[in-house]
């Protein structure tokens, strides 16, 4: 397969690098798992705008620092097969790797550290706590808490879309196409019809290693 020379490789986190959806795990801890999973799926399937549910979910769950630390551990223990090998391969080829997620940044940073991705290459939504570690809100001006945010982040990373590719499972990942970035839809955890139809490439292998065929 002949592929463009992608130099910047971007990954979604939830249901792409890890088998979990972080916000749903926070919801499970307070007995709201089923309700939140429905909202998450509505956004990822393109049925609801992200901004219509983002604050609603966090206002209901109010995840504290302990909950975020638990999710951070789960991101690593539930890592998708092949992720570490993919990152090591890309790093050996001196590719620039970014994680772009509508998830909570403090929960994702330990996974990034595990994968040797620098903190400045982790683009997610900051959450705030008081001195006791209780929920105090989130960064409401983050582009990743609204529709179109991933396209904005891609443009911020590089103006040369031809050098970029993004791998993710949901409708928000398709937004990168708006600025010319190629998208690999990953259906190894959650298979979404909209993404399967609209992504430039689509894979259903439960291992992430198959993305290398489209990148290298």
Q: Where are the domains of the chain?
A: 8-215
pLDDT score for 1: 47
User: How far is the CA of 98 from the CAs of 4, 10, 60, 109, in angstroms?
Assistant: 18, 5, 30, 12
pLDDT score for 182: 97
What's the mean pLDDT in 131-159? 96
**Gap between the Cα atoms of 26 and 102, Å rounded:** 14
CATH number assigned to the domain covering 8-215: 3.40.50.1000
What's the mean pLDDT in 145-159? 95
Query: Three-class SS of residue 163?
Result: helix
What's the mean pLDDT in 136-158? 96
DSSP 79: B
Torsion of CA 168, 119, 65, 33, to 10 degrees: 0
pLDDT at position 16 over 80: yes
DSSP 18: B
Higher pLDDT, 50 or 194: 194
Q: Is 159 exposed, middle or buried (0-12, 13-18, 19+ CB in 10 A)?
A: exposed
**Gap between the Cα atoms of 36 and 93, Å rounded:** 39
pLDDT score for 42: 81
pLDDT score for 49: 80
Contact 65, 27 (CB under 8 A): no
Alpha helical stretches, state H, the chain: 22-29, 33-44, 50-61, 65-77, 83-92, 105-114, 149-157, 171-174, 193-198, 212-215
Condensed to tens digits (0 to 9), the pLDDT of residues 115-128 reads 999 999 999 999 99
What's the mean pLDDT in 133-137? 97
Could you confirm whether 205 is annotated as catalytic?
no
pTM (2 d.p.): 0.93
Tokens matching residue 161: 């879309």
**Gap between the Cα atoms of 114 and 50, Å rounded:** 28
Could you confirm whether 81 is annotated as catalytic?
no
């Amino acid at each position: 397969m002949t592929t463009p020379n992608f130099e910047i490789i971007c990954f979604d986190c939830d249901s792409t690098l890890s088998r979990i959806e972080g916000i749903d795990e926070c919801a499970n801890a307070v007995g709201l798992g089923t309700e939140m999973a429905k909202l998450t799926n509505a956004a990822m399937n393109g049925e609801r705008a992200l901004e219509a549910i983002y604050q609603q979910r966090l206002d209901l769950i109010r995840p504290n620092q302990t909950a975020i630390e638990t999710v951070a551990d789960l991101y690593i223990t539930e890592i998708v097969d092949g992720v570490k090998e993919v990152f090591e391969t890309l790093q050996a080829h001196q590719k620039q790797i970014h994680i772009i997620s509508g998830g909570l940044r403090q929960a994702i940073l330990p996974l990034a550290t595990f994968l040797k991705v620098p903190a400045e290459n982790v683009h997610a939504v900051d959450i705030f706590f008081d001195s006791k570690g209780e929920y105090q809100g989130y960064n409401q001006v983050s582009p990743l808490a609204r529709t179109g945010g991933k396209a904005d982040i891609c443009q911020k990373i590089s103006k040369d879309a031809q050098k970029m590719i993004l791998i993710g499972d949901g409708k928000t990942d398709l937004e990168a196409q708006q600025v010319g970035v190629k998208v690999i839809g990953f259906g190894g955890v959650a298979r979404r019809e909209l993404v399967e139809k609209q992504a430039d490439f689509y894979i259903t292998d439960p291992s992430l290693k198959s993305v290398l065929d489209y990148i290298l």
